[in-house]
Amino acid sequence: MRGAVSALFLLVGACQSLPPCVTPALQELRLRWGEQDSTGNTIRGYELTARAELFQYEATGDSILHRRLVGRLEPTLYCRLLIQAHRAFLTVQAFYVPAPLQRFVEYQAPAARMRAVWNPHYRTHGNELFWRLYDSLESARSQLLR
């Protein structure tokens, strides 16, 4: 019995562990992406935590109205997305193009919050890295829903 309890704790601990690319400074990291209206008051999107947990959410401004767990990404996929997000936000540190309906990608950590917003009807040199990151995040999300 004692061995079974130990094995259960080990299994639960493994399920809650962080992907190998998450450093102590990134343990509170959240990657968010989705669509919003031109005022940023109506937001529908997804949030990926440092534990590789994927949530679907709806928000008004900074207030989250609904949030539900969709699933958890494989650690290697999560790490690839994290590297891609780092590259995008280090290359283009600010990007905002107003439109009635906007797409966004957000990198939120205790030390930094960066958000890129663009018009989804126009693919440009300026939004290319964020568009690719958005597509990669959407692809990872759709893999969970299969």
Cβ distance 19 to 79 under 8 Å? yes
134 Cβ contact list (under 8 Å, min separation 6): 33, 103, 105
Q: For residue 131, what pLDDT is reported?
A: 95
Note the pLDDT tens digit of each residue in 7-56. 433 344 445 689 999 999 999 999 999 999 988 889 999 999 999 999 99
Q: For residue 11, what pLDDT is reported?
A: 40
Q: For residue 98, what pLDDT is reported?
A: 84
Q: Which domain holds residue 71?
A: 19-144
41 Cβ contact list (under 8 Å, min separation 6): 60, 61
Q: Which DSSP state fits 18?
A: P
Tell me the pTM.
Answer: 0.85
Q: What share of the chain is helix, strand, coil (3-state, %, to 5)?
A: 35, 35, 30
Q: What is the mean pLDDT of residues 46-74?
A: 95
Note the pLDDT tens digit of each residue in 83-124. 999 999 999 877 888 899 999 999 999 888 999 999 999 888
Number of domains in the chain: 1
User: Is residue 9 one of the residues assigned to a domain?
Assistant: no
Q: For residue 111, what pLDDT is reported?
A: 87
Cα(120)–Cα(104) distance, integer angstroms: 9
Cα(18)–Cα(91) distance, integer angstroms: 26
Q: For residue 8, what pLDDT is reported?
A: 37
For residue 20, the one-letter residue type is P
User: Is residue 1 one of the residues assigned to a domain?
Assistant: no
Give the domain CATH number at 48: 3.30.1560.10
Cβ distance 136 to 81 under 8 Å? yes
